[in-house]
Structure 1
Amino acid sequence: MSDIADLLLHARWVVPVEPHGTTLEHHTVAVRDGRILALLPQEEARRLYPQVQAVELPHHVLFPGFVNLHVHAAMALMRGIADDLPLMRWLQEAIWPTEGRHVSPAFVRDGTLLAAAEMLRGGITTCNDMYFYPEAAAQAFDEAGMRAVLGTVVLAFPTPYASDADDYLRKGLAVRDQWRGHPRIDFTLAPHAPYTVDDDTLKRVAALAAEIETPIHIHIHETVQEVTDSITQHGVRPLTRLERLGLLGANFIGVHAVHLDETEIALLAHHGCAVAHCPTSNMKLASGAAPAAALRAAGVTVGLGTDGAASNNRMDMFAEMRHASLLAKVTSGDATALPASEVLRMATLEGARALGMAERIGSIEPGKQADLCAVALDTPETRPCFDPVSHLVYVAGREHVSHVWVDGEARLDKGKSLLQTSDKELLRLAAVWQTKLVN
């Protein structure tokens, strides 16, 4: 890589995330060929690169783009369709029947385009998606210019997408092969949950994940009912069952992990597993509050996820950071639990680490991809600012995001979307699907 920058980002504050707890004032991120070339004082950057294109961010905090560790992107088209229900009623009475009638490649493509636009506007540059028709999702994320990891969904029952476990795996792996080598699209194996996948299929997923060296992305211990049903049907709690079947390991991402005992927290730590903490969805579905602070204290990698817009109803990492910190404090009785710097790290580098991407994204370090977000702190509601990291978690919202870059390419500039798909077209697609889903 050449040592001549092609883009300079001059910011009031830069929060690189690594080293932990660092905030740099009046620094510049130099970018070359989509990667971070250097992080250096502004005066030095202006002297070294006098002719290079520069973006001035005089009242802004610049930090790594968010990594949304769990989302069902296409479900943006079902935002608000079944509110105020517990998880299993929500799934069985509303979501699964709606999906059965309407989910198709067109549904997934359009819903994913809508979700990608929302996520990018809110500073999310990478997401870990789990949904049907991953080829349609890949096309949408590619068009949006967003980094995405797509799940090869596996269920024990048929859907419009696939007829059985073999069909799910065959179709998902074929899409993975088609997109192999793409700079922004990766894949996981994504069995939906222990209660929707049988033992033989879970064993096969574990073997495949080891063979092709890919993460496993699965919902676990989301509700009390899930745990008690597992004891009734299998004689053990879900995590114990998954351990016996060979799924737990450094490539394992357990989503939600709300109802864990001390033994299970230790089990996740022992195997080097990661957890996707989705506080807003867990609150809205009354699933509970995951022991995120205890997991972090035990050494478990914990990232943040929004879940889908059908159960949240926002794909908003500012909300997830704030809720994660506040929930940790109120459930533990400890006001120091999950401080702002820790939840920002969870929303960026820890999510990247869970996906095996920490060498590429998640912090502002030379050699990493220039996936970056700038937040403007120049409005009355954001002043005064004594600590920009505290402001990112407890004050700012996605409405304060001014700029977003993926691979050094602008996706949002001064609050204006630069996506190929216009807002007008996105609104048209949303209206079309709303009409279809209510009829």
Structure 2
Amino acid sequence: MSARVPAVVVVNGMILPMDPSMPEVVNGWLSAGSDGVIIALGTGDAPAGGEVVDAHGAFVAPGFVSSHSHLFTSGSRGLGIECSLYGWIEAMTRYTQYASSDDIYWCTLHGALDFINNGITTAYDFTSSRLPFHALSGGDGTYGGLLRPAGFAEAQIRAKVDAGIRFVNSIMLDDSTGTIEEIVDRFTETVTFAERYEKLDTFLGMAISGGIQWAASRASAELETLLMERYQIINQPHLLETPYSIDQQQERFWWYRDAGTLGRGLIFGHFIHTTPEIVEVAAEAGCAMSWQPTSNGRLGSGVADVPGYRRAGLRVGIGLDDQSCTDISDPWQNMRIGLYTQRAWYRDPEVLSVKEILRLHTLGSAEVLGLDDRVGSLAPGKFADFVIVDPSTPDTGPVWNPIATYVLACGLRNLKQVWIGGRCVSKEGVSVRLSDAEVATEMHGRLRAIHDWAADGCSA
């Protein structure tokens, strides 16, 4: 069999593969084929053929994987600034609750481009529910009211496809409205719509946004389990996030156990206010959790015992959560806040290393989502999704330890290029595929129009 001819070769890179089969640092080259898949990494003379990209000694690292995101929130930053979870959700959705299908398309497109321009190439995306959210007294909340049309859910899929980000599309069952048959039919309708994108390598599958945190009965856990099995999809519920009603949240974990939901397909979003028994049972069942360090701090939700979870055998990934409560979709900030919070909490600088935190936001998140055969590290056979990050512009000093410099000293200011599938999609924080300015203008105009007529019932 003849050797594959590269379509692109990145040379003179300080490559951080983040793959257990590779060295920690490869000072050399990376090649990818026309199919957007990595052919090889190596040192010495680079293979001939295709476009040559000179990294000039900059870092070449895997694109970040966000295992927990809400891309439609990109236009809702600066709302609910002193609220905990449920008050913040109500404030954050003050305008998007009135969004049409076209409006939510542009909000999601804006959010997806924001992620790409900041080096996040794969996202698990919790789409906006077809039901509005309502905060209740005592720090609680629920979804209910007028059901939006199927096109509302479909528009959010189209937006991510148009942006070019790799994504898992996660939807709520909206099971507070309708019979079980109607709930299942609505879910099936969106799944069927998504099937038209199955051949795109950016569409990585459907998922359930588990609603057990707001559910009225155990029947919700049973229905989620039924649909997980029917469609062979994963489920990520927000659970044990808020510091309110902890006993009630902990009880609902057992609803999942009793419904037979626990297993590798169940990912707990946030999972802060656990007990040793809950962690042990979840780990033994093969469950995972997604850690959102920045938003957990922003909302005062608490500190997840990530080192303890990992010792128990729980798989952990990292997400950037809502752009409206992470505020800046900055994976370097997210890593550092997580790293520093854990070290301060444990009073131990060795409790979590820089290599481990980088792994959690790349390969670890891919593993949690079941995508580690395709994304999360730079190795032959995986998608050529990578970032080029220059520690000399602006200068961060001598690189004594490449991974330490990358994690601790670099950031968005050093991010020069983002590549997805062997194609450059962003340079210097600007999309090369779509007009960021046009998308921003469209999104701003639509949300401003909603603002002009919407009842403004909650202060920021």
TM-score, normalised relative to structure 2: 0.87
Q: CA deviation at 1:388?
A: 2.1
Q: In the alignment, what sits opposite 2:127?
A: 131
Q: In the alignment, what sits opposite 1:430?
A: 443
Distance 1:164 1:97, change over 3 A: farther
Q: In the alignment, what sits opposite 2:419?
A: 405
Q: In the alignment, what sits opposite 1:13?
A: 14
Output the CA distance in 2 between the equivalents of 1:90 and 1:416.
Answer: 30
Unaligned runs of 5+ in 1: 231-235
2:185 corresponds to 1:184: no
Q: Residue type matched to 2:448 in 1?
A: T
Output the CA distance in 1 between the equivalents of 2:92 and 2:79.
Answer: 8
Q: In structure 2, which of residues 117, 122, 133 is the aligned counterpart of residue 121 of structure 1?
A: 117
Q: In the alignment, what sits opposite 1:233?
A: none
Q: Is the CA contact 2:243–2:273 (under 8 Å) kept in the aligned structure 1?
A: yes
Output the CA distance in 2 between the equivalents of 1:197 and 1:351.
Answer: 31
Q: CA deviation at 1:24?
A: 2.3
Q: Is the CA contact 2:79–2:88 (under 8 Å) kept in the aligned structure 1?
A: no
Mean CA deviation greater in 272-281 or 385-394? 385-394
- 1:231-257 CA distance string (max 9 Å, x none): xxxxx6232222112221101111001
Output the CA distance in 2 between the equivalents of 1:96 and 1:427.
Answer: 18
Q: In the alignment, what sits opposite 2:39?
A: 37
Output the CA distance in 2 between the equivalents of 1:198 and 1:97.
Answer: 28
Q: In the alignment, what sits opposite 1:272?
A: 286
Q: CA deviation at 1:197?
A: 5.9
Q: CA deviation at 1:416?
A: 4.1
Give the match's secondary structure for 1:411: strand
Q: CA deviation at 1:181?
A: 3.4
Q: In the alignment, what sits opposite 1:83?
A: 81
Unaligned runs of 5+ in 2: 129-151, 453-460
Q: CA deviation at 1:2?
A: 5.2
Output the CA distance in 1 between the equivalents of 2:318 and 2:153.
Answer: 22
Q: In the alignment, what sits opposite 1:107?
A: 103
Q: In structure 1, which of residues 270, 281, 287 is the aligned counterpart of residue 295 of structure 2?
A: 281
Q: Is the CA contact 2:70–2:321 (under 8 Å) kept in the aligned structure 1?
A: yes
Output the CA distance in 1 between the equivalents of 2:111 and 2:439.
Answer: 10
Q: Residue type matched to 1:66 in 2?
A: F
Output the CA distance in 1 between the equivalents of 2:246 and 2:186.
Answer: 25
Q: In structure 2, which of residues 309, 317, 321 is the aligned counterpart of residue 295 of structure 1?
A: 309
Q: CA deviation at 1:309?
A: 1.6
Q: Residue type matched to 1:31 in 2?
A: A
Give the match's secondary structure for 1:211: helix
Q: CA deviation at 1:271?
A: 1.1
Give the match's secondary structure for 1:30: strand
Q: CA deviation at 1:347?
A: 0.5
Output the CA distance in 1 between the equivalents of 2:273 and 2:22.
Answer: 30
Output the CA distance in 2 between the equivalents of 1:292 and 1:395.
Answer: 23
- 1:384-437 CA distance string (max 9 Å, x none): 2212211222111122111111111110135542122x1220221232134134
Q: Which residues of 2 match residues 19-418 of structure 1 at below 5 A?
A: 19=20, 22-32=23-33, 33-41=35-43, 43-45=44-46, 48-49=47-48, 51-92=49-90, 94-96=91-93, 98-100=95-97, 102-132=98-128, 133-158=152-177, 165-166=183-184, 168-185=186-203, 186-196=205-215, 198-230=217-249, 237-413=251-427, 415-418=429-432
Aligned pair count reads 425
Q: CA deviation at 1:156?
A: 3.5
Distance 1:189 1:103, change over 3 A: same
Distance 1:167 1:96, change over 3 A: farther
Q: Is the CA contact 1:250–1:273 (under 8 Å) kept in the aligned structure 2?
A: yes
Q: CA deviation at 1:147?
A: 0.4
Q: Is the CA contact 1:79–1:313 (under 8 Å) kept in the aligned structure 2?
A: yes
Q: Residue type matched to 2:398 in 1?
A: P
Output the CA distance in 2 between the equivalents of 1:314 and 1:5.
Answer: 35
Give the match's secondary structure for 1:359: coil
Aligned-CA RMSD value: 2.3
What is the percent sequence identity of the aligned residues?
A: 24
Q: CA deviation at 1:167?
A: 5.6
Give the match's secondary structure for 2:78: coil
